[in-house]
Amino acid sequence: MLRLLYALFVRLAAAPAALFLALRGRRQGDAPGRWAERFGWVPRPAGPVTVWLHAASLGEVVAARPLIDALIARHGSGGVWITTMTTSGSQAVRRYWGDAVPHSYVPFDLPRALRRFLRRVRPQVCVVLETEIWPHLFTLLARRRIPLMLANARLSPRSFSGYRRVRGAIAGVLSRVALVAAQSDADAERFRALGAPHVERAGNIKFDLAPPEHERAIGQRWRADVGPRPVWVAASTHDGEEAAVLAAHRDLLRWHPKALLVLVPRHPQRFASVARMLERDGWHFVRRGDGDTVSVPAEATLLLGDSTGEMFRYLAMADCAFVGGSLVEVGGHNILEPAALGLPVLFGQHMFHFVDARRLLIETGGAREVASAQDLAVEIAALFAQPELRTEMGTAAAAAVAANRG
């Protein structure tokens, strides 16, 4: 019954979802006609594809860069096919590897669309990043004897609780997976409890992402252009979270009137609405815009980071970083990126997607947790006022990341 209900839901949802994604993609600069990729209509590769790797969104693509580079080195750029779900993820693939690596949107979990995609691409192996569980896809891969790996797999306690309610159905789906390479022992145990037969703890590949030196250099140049003023980044913020960040920045300006906030919303489709909110609330801000330079007048107190794929540049501008998705119940985002750059890291109490990274950075002294806008303002002010504290926390954060690479 669950399988039938799922199949019916996917069939009914596919057309509206394709229309919604196509319209949103066009607003973000997508080429017309790419909606067809969602139904398996992808160009045939020039040669054989060894590995099909699926990284749903921008965050997964960024995290997978070391893995994808290793696969390309082993199998050649044409031997790796990358799919994404989101436009920002697609743009990141093009930005990092250009046209050298075949890429498309992932088909919806519809048997006919998936068969069409597999007939065209003919991968020998499929690698799915993190926690993308697609019943029809997994079944079809097993029938075609195409091995499937869940790489960098994680399963939060909240997701585990939801899947456990339908354990029988999920166990059948996970039985098709050749290997679950889990981020942590806790993740591995949750997958085993759901019935996955082949699970290993492999660690978190997000530790292996080294900040690109040219990205760091650009960010440092932007910082030099901004001048000698304290700078903090609020990265990957969500709807309802910007209000708390802005309240913290208002408080902070009382102690550090020249402080600059670099606000980077998580989703590109929200850039315009966040800009309107800043205008409505009377902030003197500038937008990142296009080009290689960032111009922030002395009287501006906020830079809106309305671009994708430039997070390391924004972080390289900063003295410290707050990572969003954590003051609201989203589950947090990648706190290892600012840590790798040697920045003190702050985040809220909702970090259930990054439990182990949270614990590691707090225990090593590289991060602190805040419960409110007021707490955030106090912590940022303390870091601005105490360079030695910034250095101590940043060094600890970078060392924690380095110790867990590989």
Beta-strand relationship, 231-237 and 302-304? unpaired
Asked if 149 contacts 127 with a C-beta cutoff of 8 angstroms, the reply is yes
Rounded Cα gap, residues 105 and 87, in angstroms = 8
What residue type is 288 in one-letter code?
R
**How many residues in total does the chain contain?**
406
Q: Chain centroid to CA 340: how far?
A: 15
Asked if 320 contacts 232 with a C-beta cutoff of 8 angstroms, the reply is yes
Token code pair at residue 354: 């990054």
Q: Which active-site residues does the annotation give?
A: 60
CA angle 190, 193, 199 (to 5 degrees): 70
CA angle 132, 134, 135 (to 5 degrees): 145
Count CA atoms within 13 Å of residue 308 on its CB side. Answer: 24
**What Cα–Cα distance (Å) separates residue 32 from each residue in 22, 23, 36, 133, 271?**
8, 10, 10, 28, 22
For the beta sheet containing 231-237, the strands, ordered from the edge strand earlier in sequence to the opposite edge, are 285-287, 302-304, 260-265, 231-237, 320-323, 345-347, 367-369
Rounded Cα gap, residues 213 and 84, in angstroms = 26
Count CA atoms within 13 Å of residue 142 on its CB side. Answer: 14
Count CA atoms within 13 Å of residue 175 on its CB side. Answer: 8
